[in-house]
Structure 1
Amino acid sequence: MRKLHANLAFHEPPKWALLERQLIELIDEAVEPLLARYVRPDGTMLWPTTETHTGIDALDDMYESFFNWPLFYILGGHEKFKQLSKKEFDAITEQFSRYDSGTGHKMVEKEYEQGYDWFHQGEGYTMFYHMGLMDPNDPKIKERAIRYAGLFLNEDPEAINYDPVHRTIPYPHSGSKGATDRNFKVHFSGWHYVDWMKHYGLHYQDVPGVRTLDDLKHEEGALAMGKAIVERASRGDIPLNLLATSMVANAYLHTGDPKYKAWVKEYVDAWVDRAKQNGGLIPDNVGLNGIIGEHTGGKWYGGWYGWTWPHGWVSIGQGVGVAAQNALLLERDSAYIEFLRSQMTIMNEKAIVGDDGTRYLPNKFGDPGWHGYVTSNILLEDDGKTVVYKDGAFEFTPIEPFYPTHLWYMSMQETDHELLKSLRNYAKPDYNQIRYFRNKDQAGHDYCWVSYLDGEYPSYPEEILTYNLTQVYQRLSFMRSDTEDPASYRDDYVQIRNTVTLEGLLQLTLGAPSPLYNGGLLMARLRYYDADAKRPGLPPDVAALVEKLEDERTIVKLVNLHPTQPRNVILQAGAFGEHQFTDVTYTVFGSAANDGSELGALTTMEKLPSGLYNPIAAKITEKVDGKWLCVAIELGSHTTLELGMARFVNDPSYQEPWGEHNAG
């Protein structure tokens, strides 16, 4: 492994570096009051509030409460986060194996979800994927990864989840008891109104006796809609099932077994083909015989978590985006980027453009009818209440920034960069200022980050880190004054109190967007290891700032804030070593240059703001040709590395730089 020496002393520590280390240290401590008050000593949760709980929902919310804890560990969080992550995953898995699903099975069977849609499974098992990054050598994590993925390769004869003939996951709900429609028949046959429905509208516009959501408040309307849902949406494949590719890709990263790569390719290719059959736009339902619209009267929309209900593109895009990334990662084929790009292109062609240039893309497709549900940031008809419906499309809204950002991040093509900029929300600027809002992933500032990388928002690192610090302190303050009775807790009670917030750290240190929330793997330009402690993450006192991302180049600044101790940090090209360093250019002082280095023009003196002069040595370019690079940073020193990179050229794995764990 190539080793560099960084010894350029700084005279004033960068503010961003101080904030970065302050945030890491704050999060290290802030979880203690959360655990002490809201989680039992054995790791089990205070929800459900009764041991007689019955249902199929909310296992995901329990795992989600800790979804980013393993990720924080690999950024450099305290060692305790590794043990806490394992403890919580084990405790929740065991706890929910005690609750009845109401379908003849426990909620968790064989340590896995008995059967649910992948919108929720994807949210929940994100924590598990990050645990592979956290500790790939843990035999329990690896065994589970293999067994969980095996459910979708039909390796458990009691859990058939894949139809290899039609290349489908044949039902919207799948899991350890196989893919079936049992949940729909038991739980959804009567679709009685509950308040959250006011944000999503109706599944179907042609159900007799159901013209508005109010009709679901009556038994006749509820039963009619429930019958239609079971008949049309309980069978067949849906785009959200593409999120299962992360579970299978996760097993590949552990083992390198080609059967997992082959499955991901086969399943993603099947959906790419279906989109082509449908004129380019992905259909949201494929029947048991592999026919688009087979159970929906021939319509390509109307499936479960599809184009019409509940979220439209917001959830369909998760399946498409995650699948495109996983196929690119495993196959190393940039053609898969087109799967995501093509969907956004079609929606963009149908956009309504506001006077300020904001592009409102259709979020949903479906039949004309009643669209008077409660909306946010969506174009309305003249009455100010009814959602605009135009040529089969509705819910016209600015697209969520993470989709264009992930597209450009994967491709690094200027055309995708221009598309991203054109899709900004100019009505409520989301690209040049920090907005205070709450998302599940505690993220949402993707456009601001890209503006920073473009040189248009130089203060962003300090602002996003300050914002993240504020998030933590706000939650600590809330917990100190919290008077809520635990008997009234909802399933997200820990999620809304989670003191781990990582958007700024991911963007600035790894050069990475937040993973797509419903089950996306970490896509990162860089990753770090503490070479002395032999563990993932930045060493103590070390801060990193990715300043530039290009197709074949990454610029990152490293700082060692410790006043007396040097630090040794290993950089990895990509979250899974999928990239390759080709060369590195940096500057050193004195004799620190390695033998054989290509010295640039020597600058003997540098004038400092104080008027004094600081002798410096030379700019050096060295060949690397590997996925790891070690940097020894002297005390109170910094360096800027210009890294030449070849992206998506290596076989990805969880292999660590100090030993082969990967049997593949």
Structure 2
Amino acid sequence: MRVDRRGFLAGAVALTMPAQARAATQRVTLATKMKAPRWAVMQRQLLDANAAACSAFYAKYVDGRDRLRVFERWGANDGPDDAAEATNDWFLLHALGGDDRIRDLASRFWEGHLQQFAAAKTVDVPIARDGMYHREFPVQMDWQHNAEGLTSFNVMGLSMPGNARLQERNRRFADFYTGRDPTVANYDPVRRMMRSLLNGSRGPMLREATPLDWAGDPFDPAPFHMEHGETSYQQTLDHYAEYGDVIGDNPLNLQATTLGLNAYALGGGDHYRAWALDYLGAWAERAAKNDDILPSHVRPDGSVGKDWWKGVYGWGFSPKVPQTGERENRNRVPRSITAFMGAVVMSGDMGFIDLWRRQTARINDASRSIKGTLSAPTMYGAKGWYGWKPGAYRTNGFEIWYMSQRAEDRAAAGDHPWLDFLEGRNPAYPETALAADLARIDARVKLREEDTTTPETRLADWPIGINPASVASLVQTMTGGLHIARPPWSKSSPPQGGVPLHCRLRYFDPVSRRAGVPEDIAALIHRITADSTEVTLVNLNLGAAYRLVIRGGAYGEHRIDAVTVDGRTICVGGRDVDVALDPGCGARLVLKMTRYALSPTLAFPWT
């Protein structure tokens, strides 16, 4: 798929003109009194509860140098990527309207952990003997784990797009993969492919990987909680006994295109978007030539052959679990859909989602009766399809529907109480979801208070399960967005880290000059369709007026064509709308929108 971006770029011309040539942002004033809805009060309570709990978490698990208090190791189980995840969702929390202190703590931790794991070195694992980070990036790992470690980094731009260090890092990290950095040969621009599943700031691994490369240096696991249940170091090695096939490209590498998206959206230049779309387009072409199935293995010469299903984390990857001796299916190809979602943000081209719909159809075409039940496969190997599960194949169904908003995709999205609310069947959902996140914070606080581990007896993945940041209900209710994370939030969604925010609306405080709703403001998205969004805004303060800016999409990619409120329609024709809320006032707004019509940016509305 060679992407023609001319039409898309033309649609953004008005937004790249000098300020004096653009139409002024339209102002909407809400002056009708509104009794404070319970969901609005709970939303503000949740923002405050998150801030308090995160501060207490930081005090316990991060030291005075802003480094994580853990036993430092290299490895896919419990390495630097897990350490980086300790403050997952803190930047997102701030971008929604959370306290500035959460952004500041998350920023401090990011800097501290970079120093921590640049200094941490292996003895036996060759690639990390001079540091687990080089040039502030993992030296060499797969993009399941690289992406997880970038979960915070990939959303920093929502809160601090003007930060020069963030801008430079995004460009530098992206250029590890664009081919523009001559010191790192991860990407082959001629063949439009990554050269290995294992890659990073020290380049690709171009040999068979060993269990040591994946598991890290020898250690005694007895004092630690081991995620996979290992009881000896040998079992950690055995977990990776079949992880050697890493040479060539793998769809997990597509997660690197998020760096291109953010580098572009932070003002780095169109070559970042051009690279990301060309690389994603190459994979779309490979799928089209492979009976509409995205292959999991591209050979070093750039070809896709009869072994298209091979590779670590591929369609045929079912390694043996050392503790049980049984094989476990670990196909991670479905996770790469999020990179194609990013392609739609960058291009406006729904063809990047169409290929996933066609793939689902091909897999369902292979369904057959298993013990009297029609079942669909989830894996493919030398003997054909396997990994049968009852019913239709629906993996990624929610993401396909969310992006397309096509009626024919709705069934594959499955059932979810949030969808029931958006479709008018579950009016209590916002309060139920917000209450669940408040309870989640309480549970995480209790875990922290009862935690008896020490830095010598906890691995880097341990604090992840205690991190109190709880934002799923806020993302849904405030932005109409997807909180794609681990564990998965819907039955058809794979668990994933490092995914940028995909949403209908986000908000800015033009007075405080920051991202997120102002203090005392709450927002609830009631309904989304292919061309409209309905949102209630309310000012809970009876004595003060506020202003906020509504933006279409996380990256301003959705054009707001018009706003209707109290029977009055105002033409907009841009990515932002300025709203003034009088004391104690609110209203329900209907926004007419053209989705994915504008070039993505993370710049604040007033810059």
TM range (shorter): 0.7 to 0.9
1:354 shift after superposition: 9.8
1:155 shift after superposition: 2.5
> 2:520, 2:540 within 8 Å by CA — same for their partners in 1?
yes
Aligned with 2:288 (options 259, 271, 276): 276
**Paired amino acid for 2:332:** S
**Who is 1:155 aligned against?**
180
Q: Does 1:299 align with 2:307?
A: yes
Equivalent-residue separation in structure 2 for 1:285 and 1:639 (angstroms): 52
1:115 shift after superposition: 0.9
1:642 shift after superposition: 0.5
1:188 shift after superposition: 5.3
Q: Does 1:342 align with 2:358?
A: yes
1:367 shift after superposition: 4.6
Equivalent-residue separation in structure 2 for 1:218 and 1:77 (angstroms): 39
Aligned with 1:404 (options 397, 400, 403): 397
1:86 shift after superposition: 1.4
Q: Does 1:530 align with 2:509?
A: yes
Matches within 5 A, 1:463-474: 463-474=432-443
Q: Does 1:366 align with 2:381?
A: yes
Q: Does 1:553 align with 2:570?
A: no
Cα 1:655–1:190 change in 2 (3 A) is closer
> 2:563, 2:590 within 8 Å by CA — same for their partners in 1?
yes
CA distances 1:509-565 after superposition (whole Å, capped 9, x unpaired): 001011363322111110100122111001111110000101111100011111211
Equivalent-residue separation in structure 1 for 2:236 and 2:256 (angstroms): 37
1:61 shift after superposition: 0.8
**Paired amino acid for 1:633:** L
1:465 shift after superposition: 0.5
CA distances 1:281-315 after superposition (whole Å, capped 9, x unpaired): 1111111111225xxxx422221111233686862
- Secondary structure in structure 2 of the residue aligned to 1:513: coil
Q: How many residues align?
A: 549
TM-score normalised by length of structure 2 = 0.85
Cα 1:578–1:566 change in 2 (3 A) is same
- Secondary structure in structure 2 of the residue aligned to 1:291: coil
Aligned with 1:308 (options 307, 316, 323): 316
**Who is 1:2 aligned against?**
26
TM-score normalised by length of structure 1 = 0.78
**Who is 2:80 aligned against?**
59
Q: Does 1:585 align with 2:601?
A: no
1:400 shift after superposition: 9.9
**Paired amino acid for 2:316:** T
> 2:334, 2:395 within 8 Å by CA — same for their partners in 1?
no
**Who is 2:15 aligned against?**
none
Q: Does 1:651 align with 2:599?
A: yes
- Secondary structure in structure 1 of the residue aligned to 2:194: coil
- Secondary structure in structure 2 of the residue aligned to 1:392: strand
**Who is 2:151 aligned against?**
126
CA distances 1:565-613 after superposition (whole Å, capped 9, x unpaired): 11111100111111111111111xxxxxxxxxxxxxxxxxxxxxxxxxx
> 2:173, 2:259 within 8 Å by CA — same for their partners in 1?
yes
CA distances 1:65-98 after superposition (whole Å, capped 9, x unpaired): 2121111110000011221121111111110011
Cα 1:36–1:217 change in 2 (3 A) is closer
Equivalent-residue separation in structure 2 for 1:97 and 1:300 (angstroms): 36
CA distances 1:114-141 after superposition (whole Å, capped 9, x unpaired): 0100000111112111111110101000
1:476 shift after superposition: 1.0
Long gaps (5+) in structure 2: 1-24, 319-327, 486-495
Equivalent-residue separation in structure 2 for 1:567 and 1:583 (angstroms): 22
**Paired amino acid for 2:304:** I
**Which range moves more in the overlay, 127-136 or 272-281?**
272-281
> 2:42, 2:431 within 8 Å by CA — same for their partners in 1?
yes
Q: Does 1:457 align with 2:450?
A: no
- Secondary structure in structure 2 of the residue aligned to 1:519: coil
**Who is 1:81 aligned against?**
102
Equivalent-residue separation in structure 1 for 2:586 and 2:475 (angstroms): 20
Q: Does 1:497 align with 2:497?
A: no
Percent identical pairs in the alignment equals 28
> 2:44, 2:522 within 8 Å by CA — same for their partners in 1?
yes
1:362 shift after superposition: 2.6
**Who is 1:16 aligned against?**
39
- Secondary structure in structure 2 of the residue aligned to 1:337: helix
Q: Does 1:317 align with 2:342?
A: no
- Secondary structure in structure 2 of the residue aligned to 1:31: helix
**Paired amino acid for 2:254:** L
- Secondary structure in structure 2 of the residue aligned to 1:365: strand
Equivalent-residue separation in structure 2 for 1:190 and 1:534 (angstroms): 45
Cα 1:32–1:178 change in 2 (3 A) is same
- Secondary structure in structure 1 of the residue aligned to 2:588: strand
**Paired amino acid for 1:366:** G
CA distances 1:331-389 after superposition (whole Å, capped 9, x unpaired): 111211112222222233345689999x8543322256xxxxxxxxxxxxxxxxxxxxx
Long gaps (5+) in structure 1: 200-215, 369-390, 425-430, 432-446, 588-618, 660-664
**Paired amino acid for 1:451:** D
Equivalent-residue separation in structure 2 for 1:482 and 1:170 (angstroms): 43
1:395 shift after superposition: 4.9
1:397 shift after superposition: 6.2
Equivalent-residue separation in structure 2 for 1:22 and 1:398 (angstroms): 41
Equivalent-residue separation in structure 2 for 1:94 and 1:400 (angstroms): 44
